Chain A
Amino acid sequence: MGELIDYRLQVNGLEHEVSQAWLGENLLFVLRERLGLPGSKNACEQGECGSCSVLMDGTLVCSCMVLAASAVGADIVTVEGLSAGEHELSDVQAAFLAEGAVQCGFCTPGLIVSVHDLLEHNPDPTELEVREAISGNLCRCTGYGRILEAVRAAQEARQG
């Protein structure tokens, strides 16, 4: 496997030590298997499904496509870092629950991160913009109707 190294990653505002890791590991693997942050899900590991979506320096990316060792120094936010605390829900998470946008739940963390990113940059998106924003997040249960409803609810709640 080649040499193993130690490095540090900044995740959800905390410094995390990654020790004795193979340099070719992707960020998703490191988050889940080394840092105990299993919120980001692994379905396709090729950027197709969006269930591993995270924010890196404020930009939405698939963590499976980030070489973890190259993310040293980057500010990484996972779904675990979006709410105020471990037992708190973010407004988008609450809207997903209230609108029944969660079925099996596997795609949910990635969608939550994508919707947070959308509303951060575009507080009042049209339905077309919402559809485009979540086009990289696959859900095989809901048919997306309730997900779109949840985004609209979160959007309206933020508008007050």
Chain B
Amino acid sequence: MSVFVPVSLEDAFESLDRYPDAQLLAGGTDFMVEISFAHRRPSAVVCLRRVAELAGWRLEGAEVVLGAGITYSELMGPQLSGLLPGLAQAARTVGSPQIRNAGTLGGNLGTASPAGDTLPVLAALDATVVVASRQGRRSVGLDELVVGPKRTSLGPGEVIVEIRLPAALGSQEFLKVGTRNAMVIAVANVALVVDWAGHSVRCALGSVGPAAIRAREAEQFMTSRIDWTSRSVAGEPLAVAEFAALVRAAARPIDDHRSTADYRRHAVGVCAQRAIERILADERQGASGRGAWAS
């Protein structure tokens, strides 16, 4: 086994030229478990932690451009949690402080677990993922990148470098169900965005399918029911119940060691219902956002 610790993308590409089958290592929170439990013995590892181009984030007009190496802890910071509140909420549900300090957004994408907590948020925000190799860059949508459970379309020599998201888009909520608050892999999770300016509702579900699922019919239904001028819903309880039913119908869950398909389907409905209720309640109270929890 060879280990490379490049400090630039150019160095990383060079290592990948020499070892095209090398495993990319970001925060290590998934990969190191496989190594330590001897489930994997890769011939080469390219550690991305010190690659300068993958660190940090910037604003480009109305877009936030996140380096793929950004950690969950960084996503919870005061500025980013204001610009990307749903992503900050999702980041806060990941693991523990230790895990959030190590794990990265690019790693969550690269691992492509059906339970990845940031993935529904990225799906709901229609994230663009920038992938680079020595040959150049390409931009892909989440559904082009994540093609199945723990499967991506990344080719040899390719590295996820950036994630581009709309800044401070509307109201956002993320809810997750697990056996406790900390250190838990999602049984089900839901990201909801209500874009008041664009008159759209986006809802994505995690842990209830091979990859994040956009609940399109539920989105269209709620979009048609919101009065975009008063930011309210006539007959809210019935409309919310129908929304939750459409979310449940969109789920494609399975039974596994973590939960049952039936429970997961129920749970995404409850999460979606609470998410829309919270957003509508915030509007009633004239709150400008729910970012106040962020440290």
Within the complex, the shortest CB–CB distance from A27 to chain B, in Å, comes to: 9
**Count of A interface residues, CB-CB < 8 Å:** 33
- Please give the residue numbers on chain A whose beta carbons come within 8 Å of chain B beta carbons, in ascending order: 2-3, 22-24, 26, 29, 45-48, 50, 53, 59-62, 64-67, 69-70, 72, 114, 117, 122, 129, 132-133, 135-137
Inter-subunit contact B98/A50 (CB<8 Å): yes
Inter-subunit contact B183/A64 (CB<8 Å): no
Inter-subunit contact A47/B101 (CB<8 Å): no
Closest to A122 in B: B295
B147 in the interface, Cβ–Cβ < 8 Å? no
Quick one: which of B28, B37, B101 contacts A67, CB cutoff 8 A? B28
Inter-subunit contact A136/B36 (CB<8 Å): no
Distance, CA A137 to CA B183, complexed state (A): 10
- Residue from A50, A117, A129 with most neighbouring chain B CB atoms (10 Å): A50
| Interface class of chain A by DSSP | mixed
- Residue from B25, B45, B97 with most neighbouring chain A CB atoms (10 Å): B97
B32 in the interface, Cβ–Cβ < 8 Å? yes
Knowing that A61-B102, A66-B28 touch, tell me 18 more A-B residue pairs with CB under 8 angstroms. A22-B1, A24-B1, A47-B29, A50-B96, A60-B98, A62-B99, A62-B102, A65-B29, A65-B32, A65-B98, A67-B3, A67-B28, A69-B5, A70-B47, A132-B97, A132-B182, A135-B96, A135-B183
Quick one: which of B33, B97, B182 contacts A60, CB cutoff 8 A? B97
Known contacts A53-B98, A65-B102; A24 and B35 CB within 8 A of each other: yes
Contact pattern, B 44-74, Cβ under 8 Å of A = 1, otherwise 0? 0101010000000000000000000000000
Name the B residues within 8 Å of A26 (CB-CB). Answer: 32, 35-36
Within the complex, the shortest CB–CB distance from B220 to chain A, in Å, comes to: 38
Name the B residues within 8 Å of A46 (CB-CB). Answer: 33, 36-37
B95 in the interface, Cβ–Cβ < 8 Å? yes
Name the A residues within 8 Å of B29 (CB-CB). Answer: 47, 65
Name the B residues within 8 Å of A136 (CB-CB). Answer: 95-99, 182-183
Closest to B99 in A: A47
Name the A residues within 8 Å of B95 (CB-CB). Answer: 47, 136
Name the B residues within 8 Å of A23 (CB-CB). Answer: 1-3, 45
Contact pattern, B 1-39, Cβ under 8 Å of A = 1, otherwise 0? 111010000000000000000000101110011011100
Return 27 A-B CB contacts under 8 Å, by A number.
A3-B2, A23-B2, A24-B1, A24-B41, A26-B32, A26-B36, A45-B37, A47-B29, A47-B32, A47-B96, A47-B98, A48-B183, A59-B101, A62-B99, A65-B28, A66-B102, A67-B45, A70-B5, A70-B49, A129-B295, A132-B182, A135-B182, A136-B95, A136-B98, A136-B182, A136-B183, A137-B96
Name the A residues within 8 Å of B98 (CB-CB). Answer: 47, 50, 53, 60-62, 65, 114, 136
Distance, CA A37 to CA B87, complexed state (A): 38
